[in-house]
Chains A and B, each alone.
Chain A
Amino acid sequence: MGLPRLIFVTGKGGTGKSTIAAALALALARRRRCLLASLDGRSSAAQMLGLEAGGESPATRRAAAAPEPLKFDRRAELEAFIGRIVPMRAIANRMLRSRTFGYVTAAVPGLEAFLLMERLRIVAGDAALNDYYVVADAPASGSALEMLAVAAGLRALAPLGTLNRLAAGVETMLTDPRRFGVILTATPEELGVREALDTARRLGELRIRRIAALLNCAVDPLFDAAEVEALRKLDGHRELAARRRELARRTAAARRQLSAAGMDVIELPMLFRAELHGRELANLARRLGAAVVADEAAG
Chain B
Amino acid sequence: MKPPVESILAKRLVICVGPGGVGKTTSSAMLALVAAGAGRAVDVMTIDPAPRLLDALGLDAGSNQPQAVSLDGLGRGRRGRMRAMRMDPKHTFDRIIERYAPSAAARDAILANRIYRNLSQTLAGVADYMAIERLLELHEQGGADLIVLDTPPAAEAIDFLDAPRRLLEFLNSRAVTLLGASGNMLRGGLSIVDFAARAVLAAFDRVTGLHLLRDVQGFIRGFDGMYPGFVERAARAQALLRDPSCTAIIVTTAERERIAQVSSFVEGLTAAGVAIGAVLVNRVSAELPRPTGARRGDIGPALRRKLAANLADFRALKRREQGALAAIRDAIPAGVPLIIAPELGYEPRSLRDLTEIGRRLKPG
Q: Tell me if B347 and A234 are in contact (CB < 8 A).
A: no
Chain B stretch 298-342: residues in CB contact (< 8 A) with chain A? 298-299, 303, 306-307, 309-314, 316-317, 319-320, 323
Q: Tell me if B207 and A191 are in contact (CB < 8 A).
A: no
Give Cα distance in the complex from A246 to B310, angstroms. 13
State whether the Cβ of B119 lies closer than 8 Å to any Cβ in chain A. yes
Residues of B within 8 A of A205 (CB): none
State whether the Cβ of A209 lies closer than 8 Å to any Cβ in chain B. no
Known: A107-B118, A276-B256. A98 touches B209 (CB 8 A): no
B174–chain A nearest beta-carbon distance, Å? 8
Known: A240-B311, A272-B317. A98 touches B197 (CB 8 A): yes
Query: Which of B207, B288, B306 has a CB less than 8 Å from the CB of A85?
Result: B207
Known: A107-B119, A223-B306. A275 touches B175 (CB 8 A): no
Q: Tell me if A100 and B311 are in contact (CB < 8 A).
A: no
State whether the Cβ of A262 lies closer than 8 Å to any Cβ in chain B. no
Main secondary structure of the interface of B (DSSP, over half): helix
Residues of A within 8 A of B184 (CB): none
Residues of B within 8 A of A94 (CB): 196, 200
B306–chain A nearest beta-carbon distance, Å? 6
Interface segment among B3-11, B17-25, B32-40, B133-141: the answer is: B17-25
Give Cα distance in the complex from A98 to B212, angstroms. 16
Residue of B nearest to A227 (CB): B303
Q: Tell me if B170 and A103 are in contact (CB < 8 A).
A: yes
State whether the Cβ of B183 lies closer than 8 Å to any Cβ in chain A. no
Q: Tell me if B209 and A159 are in contact (CB < 8 A).
A: yes
State whether the Cβ of A274 lies closer than 8 Å to any Cβ in chain B. yes
Known: A14-B21, A191-B50. A275 touches B210 (CB 8 A): no
Residue of B nearest to A191 (CB): B50
Query: Which of A98, A162, A190, A244 has a CB less than 8 Å from the CB of B207?
Result: A162
Residues of B within 8 A of A227 (CB): 303, 306
Q: Tell me if B314 and A161 are in contact (CB < 8 A).
A: no
Q: Tell me if B209 and A109 are in contact (CB < 8 A).
A: no
State whether the Cβ of B253 lies closer than 8 Å to any Cβ in chain A. yes
Number of A-B contacts (CB under 8 A): 177
Q: Tell me if A100 and B210 are in contact (CB < 8 A).
A: no
State whether the Cβ of A13 lies closer than 8 Å to any Cβ in chain B. yes
Residues of B within 8 A of A42 (CB): 155
Query: Which of B257, B298, B306 has a CB less than 8 Å from the CB of A233?
Result: B298
Residue of A nearest to B256 (CB): A276
State whether the Cβ of A110 lies closer than 8 Å to any Cβ in chain B. yes
Residue of A nearest to B307 (CB): A237
State whether the Cβ of A290 lies closer than 8 Å to any Cβ in chain B. no
Residues of A within 8 A of B209 (CB): 158-164
Residue of A nearest to B118 (CB): A109
State whether the Cβ of A76 lies closer than 8 Å to any Cβ in chain B. no
Give Cα distance in the complex from A103 to B176, angstroms. 8
Chain B stretch 48-62: residues in CB contact (< 8 A) with chain A? 50, 52
Known: A14-B253, A230-B299, A234-B292. A108 touches B210 (CB 8 A): yes
Query: Which of B201, B210, B309 has a CB less than 8 Å from the CB of A157?
Result: B210
Q: Mark B170-185, 1 if CB is under 8 A from A, else 0.
A: 1001111011000000
Residues of A within 8 A of B347 (CB): 189-191
Q: Tell me if A231 and B175 are in contact (CB < 8 A).
A: no
Q: Tell me if A239 and B289 are in contact (CB < 8 A).
A: yes
Task: Name 5 interchain pairs, CB-CB below 8 A, sorted by A.
Answer: A100-B178, A101-B201, A107-B115, A159-B209, A162-B208
